[in-house]
Copies of this chain bind each other. A is one copy, B any other.
């Protein structure tokens, strides 16, 4: 099966990533320093595949017989390896559990459908025979969307969409493309690029996520400032549910009552299986150049970003790192990086003495400008001016190029540090401009406090990477040393501190990572109790027997609302 074989089953992604520390000489010393690690670090690789025990396999014989009648053995997998690969997404909790050999919930089989017709038959059989279906894109979700709950003692199938990977058609005149839900990022872009267009959606998970997954989770890509979040790109879609197939019309906008596209978008597999969508695409831009800037501090960077938004002059990518993320980014760069020397002695001296920068406060901003010649030039000129007014120092194109080159590599760092008993994770949100810095400060403080409570010291940093007319996202990264036996408790305490700070601070539980089950403790505050009733109403209408991905977004009535925080469900977790 395509791609999945290339993925490390225990970690984020591929063996195509080499984490040669000799190539990044400053990274490991930086991490050790910032996490206060003095002693030698124990190397703890993940448990080997063959030692992991899966829960007993539940087989519904009638279902198996039915599926076998129209799906060949190559696409209907019952073996341990397939079950294991499809057991989890890539949340920290997922990685930690699987690295420690803890799998107490797992799908009983994996089916790889080839067509919507097959999916309809599979769902019908599942409905008739009370079998659970968990749609699976490429498995990189980090909110627990794939947790194998059976809602009873039912057989669970993981419906892996990866064979439905075609760009069905492109309407270049209309700037639209019809794409099958299982199309993996790079494969989809390759097909689109061949026709001169791009979707313009590049999440960090791009290499291991699918368009169906993006739609089901309300994903955002690096170029959302120009192209929007995925929900802004969908013109129409098809979703097979246990109670029929939703089909919407390919029109730019409508006033046809409650927007049915938006009933499917964000449904995280709980209502049905998205099989294809028509999305807006864009001609490949004539020019596309990344730039780097240094700002004297985070606040001046935020002001500059805001002024661009106010002037309707935002680059296609804006990524502003705070002090912590700036230091991490600089430490992360490789020996051969073109930005190797950009903070050399001369530059440092210039910044310190002439620009009066406090080098302990400088923040790195990465931007990308694109468009036709005129747009590109005008945008670059206007943004440059705004940035300079806020004290920025233009670093040229090297830092941007380095970022573009390694933009999908960063998540792999998590695997590297987990090998060394370090936990690292992210929590992100969005808020309005007037609340952005207050929320930044309060969340930084809350996470820092939680880290200090649970471990001596740790890292917390933040970047802004999605901006809007009314506000922006805040994306926090945190890391700390594990204390053996208390890993999940440590992690959940710190994760909870971040999410509590978001909710207390008037923001949302997630800007683009979805709810899954891990964010359920905050869903009631986010969408209100009546909002939960509405979502349950959709579930009752389209999936009354609860066979589709149970207990995600909102829990079933018999589940507690703080379920995502409970570690008692994972009995074997603490070793």
Complex CA gap A174/B508 in Å reads 16
Q: Which residues of B contact A255 (CB under 8 A)?
A: 217-220, 266, 508, 510-515
Q: Please state the number of chain copies in the assembly.
A: 2
The 8 Å CB contact of A510, one of B245, B256, B260, B266, is B256
The 8 Å CB contact of A257, one of B245, B248, B267, B529, is B267
Q: Which residues of B contact A553 (CB under 8 A)?
A: 257-258
Considering only CB atoms, which chain B residue lies closest to A503 in the complex? B249
Complex CA gap A269/B528 in Å reads 19
Q: Which of A207-260 contact B (CB under 8 A)?
A: 217-220, 229, 231, 235, 241, 243-260
Complex CA gap A434/B178 in Å reads 14
Q: Which of A514-533 contact B (CB under 8 A)?
A: 514-515, 519, 523, 526-531, 533
Given contacts A255-B217, A510-B254, contact A260 B174 (CB under 8 A): no
Complex CA gap A259/B213 in Å reads 16
Does A55 count as interface, using CB distance less than 8 angstroms? no
Q: Which residues of B contact A509 (CB under 8 A)?
A: 254, 256
A447-471, CB under 8 A of B: which get 1 and which 0? 0000000000000000000101111
Q: Which of A390-405 contact B (CB under 8 A)?
A: none
Complex CA gap A149/B126 in Å reads 40
B254 and A263 contact, CB distance less than 8 A: no
A471-514, CB under 8 A of B: which get 1 and which 0? 11100000000000000000000000000000000111111111
Report the minimal beta-carbon distance from A43 to chain B, rounded to whole angstroms. 35
- Beyond A257-B266, A258-B266, A534-B541, 19 extra complex contacts between A and B, CB < 8 Å: A173-B434, A218-B255, A218-B259, A220-B255, A235-B432, A246-B527, A246-B530, A248-B531, A251-B429, A253-B466, A253-B512, A254-B508, A254-B526, A257-B268, A260-B528, A260-B531, A537-B539, A537-B540, A540-B540
Does A535 count as interface, using CB distance less than 8 angstroms? yes
Report the minimal beta-carbon distance from A472 to chain B, rounded to whole angstroms. 7
Q: Which residues of B contact A6 (CB under 8 A)?
A: none
The interface size of chain A toward B, counting residues with CB under 8 Å, comes to 94
A434 and B174 contact, CB distance less than 8 A: yes
Complex CA gap A312/B173 in Å reads 14
Q: Which residues of B contact A171 (CB under 8 A)?
A: 432, 434
B432 and A507 contact, CB distance less than 8 A: no
Q: Which residues of B contact A251 (CB under 8 A)?
A: 429-432, 471, 506-508, 511
Complex CA gap A252/B515 in Å reads 17
A259 and B266 contact, CB distance less than 8 A: yes
Given contacts A218-B254, A470-B175, contact A534 B527 (CB under 8 A): no
Complex CA gap A217/B243 in Å reads 27
Considering only CB atoms, which chain B residue lies closest to A543 in the complex? B537
- Chosen A-B contacts, 22 in total, with CB atoms closer than 8 Å, are A175-B433, A218-B256, A229-B253, A248-B526, A249-B527, A250-B432, A252-B432, A252-B469, A253-B466, A256-B509, A256-B515, A257-B268, A257-B523, A257-B535, A258-B265, A258-B266, A258-B267, A259-B262, A282-B469, A283-B310, A311-B372, A312-B371
Q: Counting chain B CB atoms within 10 Å of each CB, which of A254, A431, A533 scores highest?
A: A254
A268-293, CB under 8 A of B: which get 1 and which 0? 10010000000010110000000000
Q: Which residues of B contact A515 (CB under 8 A)?
A: 255-257
A534 and B256 contact, CB distance less than 8 A: no
A263 and B508 contact, CB distance less than 8 A: no
Report the minimal beta-carbon distance from A427 to chain B, rounded to whole angstroms. 12
Does A536 count as interface, using CB distance less than 8 angstroms? yes
Of the stretches A32-40, A358-366, A374-382, the one at the interface is A374-382
A526 and B433 contact, CB distance less than 8 A: no
Complex CA gap A210/B433 in Å reads 27
Given contacts A258-B267, A534-B541, contact A253 B382 (CB under 8 A): no
Report the minimal beta-carbon distance from A249 to chain B, rounded to whole angstroms. 5
A250 and B542 contact, CB distance less than 8 A: no
Does A538 count as interface, using CB distance less than 8 angstroms? yes
Does A176 count as interface, using CB distance less than 8 angstroms? yes
A411-435, CB under 8 A of B: which get 1 and which 0? 0000000000000000001111111
Considering only CB atoms, which chain B residue lies closest to A238 in the complex? B528
B529 and A244 contact, CB distance less than 8 A: yes
Report the minimal beta-carbon distance from A545 to chain B, rounded to whole angstroms. 14
Does A554 count as interface, using CB distance less than 8 angstroms? yes
Report the minimal beta-carbon distance from A6 to chain B, rounded to whole angstroms. 27
The 8 Å CB contact of A538, one of B374, B466, B510, B538, is B538
Considering only CB atoms, which chain B residue lies closest to A243 in the complex? B533
Complex CA gap A531/B260 in Å reads 6
Q: Which residues of B contact A526 (CB under 8 A)?
A: 248-249, 254, 256
Q: Counting chain B CB atoms within 10 Å of each CB, which of A257, A268, A433 scores highest?
A: A257
Q: Which residues of B contact A554 (CB under 8 A)?
A: 257
Report the minimal beta-carbon distance from A281 to chain B, rounded to whole angstroms. 9
A162-203, CB under 8 A of B: which get 1 and which 0? 000000000101111000000000000000000000000000
The 8 Å CB contact of A220, one of B235, B253, B430, is B253
A542 and B535 contact, CB distance less than 8 A: no
